[in-house]
Every structure is written in structure tokens, then in C-alpha cells.
A and B are shown apart, each in its own frame.
Chain A
Amino acid sequence: MELYKIENVDFSINHGIVSEGSINLILKEGELFLSLENIILKDEKRWYDLPIKELENVEVISENPIILRFLSSSLELTVSGKYAERLLALRHFLMPYIHPKRKEKMKDSIKSMIKFWSLGVRNLQAFANLLQLTVDEIRRLIVFAKEKGLISQDGKLTDKAYNMFSPEERELLRNLEAING
């Protein structure tokens, strides 16, 4: 098969979809290639491929230095390289194959809902107006947040909710929730 070299990279391979705190299997130095149907990685000894049709998402997990995460249902590849524009262009080249928008939108809505919760907003209609969702959708988001342990039964945001945000945002949200009781 014919390959095109994208960039010299460091890469790691993880099993399954793992959330934050995933264990890097091995960090290797190698090269990243593209074929018509596959993403190919090469280290000193071997070639590894991930078929493009298996991709479920390509995320930027760090901008500086650039780190991309390629997700399939069964594994994830993490790749970093020196030239951000090459990896970002590859991401944009691959994105038309996949459609992760819905999942991202749900996560964004939950984060926004949590921010307003910390400000003391509880009125469903106010939430709906602020988040541009229906009251039913807001009700489902709140139920989901409680089921997932983001909001405790007594209506307080949990550590799990705060951990969805950066340290700076986390501190601000904790202060806001404290002010609002």
C-alpha cells in the first residue's frame, strides 16, 4: 500500500475508550503516515494501522504542544508532533468521516447547566432560555446530572462536576456556589 508521511511523532496506544487518567500503554517515538484507507504509525520495528472507517473521533487534547487523540470503539491513539499545522490539517481532513457532534453538544450543555447551577439558577424556564433548550431537555439534563453523580441529592455540585472544569474555573464555581448557599 502507498503511504504519505505526515510527521515525526511520539505516540501511545490505549485499549478501549478511556476517560481522563487513562494509562498510556507505551510512549514510542515514530512516524505518522496516511494511506487512502488507514492511519499508519511506525516505530523502530513495526507498522501499525488504524482503519479510517473505524474512527469515531479525532480530538485536540492539547494545543501547545499539539496532541491529537484518535478514538475508535476499541482503542485510542495519542499522537504528538512538532508541527501543529500538519496534525491539525490531518484532523480536518479526517473529520468528514466521523460525526461526534451530538456527544460533544451534550457535554457542552451539561457543563453550561452546571455553571448556571453554581450561580443559583434553578428555574427550569430560565435554564431553557439561557441554554437555548426546551424545558423537557433541561429536566432530562438535570436528571442525567444527578444520576451521574454531578449533582448530589441535596442539590450541591459534587467533586465529579467540578472536575469537568479547568482548575481556574473550578475555583470560581466553588466560590460562586458558596456565595449562593
Chain B
Amino acid sequence: MGENNTPITFQSFAEAISSLEKLTKIESKVAIALEKSRVPWKESRKLLKCMNPAQISNTTLFQFMQSLFYQMGLGKLEILDVSRFQFTFGFKECEICNIYRSQKGGKICFLTSDALLRFFVKDLDLPCSVEETKCMKEGHEMCEFTVDLQPLGVYKIALDDIDGALINQIINKKFDLDKFAQENMMENQAVEYRLQVLQSYQIVDSDNKITEIGSTYQKFAQGLRSLEEDFDPPWKNLHEITSAISAKNSLAEALSETLNPEPFIKVDNSEVVNLAEEAKKSKSFAELISKYMKTSE
């Protein structure tokens, strides 16, 4: 049994299967929701440039995520913390915890971790790892998840052409804040904010001098930014996503009854080959093959 985890406990086999069926329904909704939720980089960029949870809460992308994850049936999403390559999200009213009613202790929301992972990787194009760090089953107020972003993926999306021009001028020692603001038709404050973002990504140091990471990034930035596609963000079709989730849910229920009309059966233990034991007793792959072939005859 794995470290850090309490074995799942159920009052009965029926309760265990009921939990599995509820997970399957949520899984169907997650699949359909993620399929239709690809986000353009220009929107992901706004999220990546946020420096605190309040800024993130105000982005349309985060508000879309709240709606999407709620419709998947995973609970109410909140942003708790943000640092350079990490977000911490919380889920209140976590449905996965509700499914495991008899469970006491342990972190059990693997489906939620996986849904966050798939959303970040497939829909935001941001490679990452996700880990549940707190769970309501451990007595916490909400389930918490850290999303650790791969820096290369962040650099690919977070910085735009204006940032590229800014970095170029810094490298060539031609950067002048007033002039840059004027050339790009923006307030000085906006340029200062961009510099802060570059500092937070360690592209420039606290004196706005280019770093090793910054010069490496700039060598390849042009190629990476050229991969950007422009398309409508998914919240323009939120109604379509909502309808698809409802339709998929009804279809999954219908299919479940049709394909698995009598899912419960009984089998005598003596009829079953214990594969793990057989494999342990076999000294080689060839020996296991031989045993397996005999049992198949």
C-alpha cells in the first residue's frame, strides 16, 4: 500500500461500485468539457502574467475555469496562491470527497488532479504536473491542488512580441523607458509592469540587466512565438459546452444500462489464476509464458 495514503474503505461492495459509477459519470463530463475548451495563448498569457490571486480572479479565463469545473461536477474552484511557475487552486464542495462517504483521511481526489492536468496541458498548452496537497477528507476546509508549470512552456506563452522587443533593447543596451512607452503607445506604468513580469521570470535581474535565462530565451523566442494561433476563446461558446455536457451525461446513463444490463456476477475463487503470485514464483519470462500457456490450454 502506498505511503501517505489511507486505504479506501467502503461499507459494502455495492457502495464501492456506486462510487465507481459516479466517478464514471464525472469522467464523461470531464472528457466532453475538455474537448471543447481550447484557449488561445493571448488569454493564457493574461493568466500567466497575474501576480496575485485577486488579479487571477478578475481574468475571464479563470471565471471560465470556475464555470467549466463546476459543470464537470468537481466543485467550486478558487485560486489560493500564485508564484512564478506555480498555481494553488482550491475546490469547495468537492464532489469527489462526497462520493467516498465512508472514507476517513487520505488524499483521494485523483480525478480532480487529472482534470486540472488535462486542462492545463491540452487546453492551455502548458505542460505541468498537478498534485493534491490538502483534502477535505483530512479535515481541511477545501481540497487544494498545486499546479507546477514547466518553465519552457510558460516562456513559450507568457511573453508576447512587445516583451520580445523590450528584451532586445535591454540586450542591445538601447532601452529607455519613456521612449519605449511612446513607441508602443502605452503608459510608462504598463512598461514597468512588463519589466516586473520579466524580473519574476528571471529574464532580467532586479537592475533590469539581462540574465543567462533571458539571453537563452531570446535566442529562441522568435521561433516559439511563431507557433501562436488565433481563434475564439471557448467562453464564446459556453452554451454549446453546457449542452454537450448535459447530452453526454444522458447518453452515458443510457449506454451504461444498455451495455451493462447485469453488471454483477459471482465466480468461485478456485477458478481464478492469481497472476501476481504466478509471476513472483516464475524465475524468468520464459517460465511465466510456459505456465500461462498451460493455463490457457
Of the candidate stretches A83-91, A134-142, A144-152, A155-163, the one touching chain B is: A83-91
Query: Is there a chain A Cβ closer than 8 Å to B254's Cβ?
Result: no
**Inter-subunit contact A47/B271 (CB<8 Å):** yes
Contact of B296 among A46, A91, A97, A132 (CB under 8 A): A46
A-contact 0/1 string along B1-19, CB 8 Å cutoff: 1111111101001001101
| A26 to B276 alpha-carbon distance, docked (Å) | 16
Query: Is there a chain A Cβ closer than 8 Å to B250's Cβ?
Result: no
The count of residues in chain A whose C-beta lies closer than 8 Å to any C-beta of chain B is 66
Residues of chain B in range 231-279 having any CB-CB distance to chain A below 8 Å? 252, 255, 259-260, 263-269, 271-276, 279
| A72 to B114 alpha-carbon distance, docked (Å) | 22
**Inter-subunit contact A92/B27 (CB<8 Å):** yes
Contact of B275 among A26, A34, A50, A123 (CB under 8 A): A50
The chain B residue sitting closest to A101, CB to CB, is: B131
**Inter-subunit contact A105/B16 (CB<8 Å):** no
The count of residues in chain B whose C-beta lies closer than 8 Å to any C-beta of chain A is 68
The chain A residue sitting closest to B151, CB to CB, is: A130
Chain B residues whose C-beta falls within 8 Å of the C-beta of A143 in the assembled complex:
none
| A74 to B291 alpha-carbon distance, docked (Å) | 15
Min CB distance A83 to B, Å, is: 8
Residues of chain A in range 108-135 having any CB-CB distance to chain B below 8 Å? 108, 112, 115-116, 119-121, 123, 126, 129-132
Pairs of residues from A and B, 5 with the lowest C-beta to C-beta distance, nearest first: A99-B2, A74-B279, A95-B110, A89-B24, A85-B27
Interface residues of A (CB under 8 A from B): 1-5, 13, 15-16, 23, 25-26, 33-36, 38, 40, 43, 45-51, 53-54, 72-75, 77, 83-86, 88-93, 95-101, 104-105, 108, 112, 115-116, 119-121, 123, 126, 129-132, 176, 179
13 new A-B contacts at CB < 8 Å, known A1-B269, A36-B10, A88-B27:
A13-B275, A15-B279, A47-B267, A50-B276, A73-B280, A75-B275, A75-B276, A89-B111, A92-B27, A92-B110, A96-B110, A97-B2, A99-B5
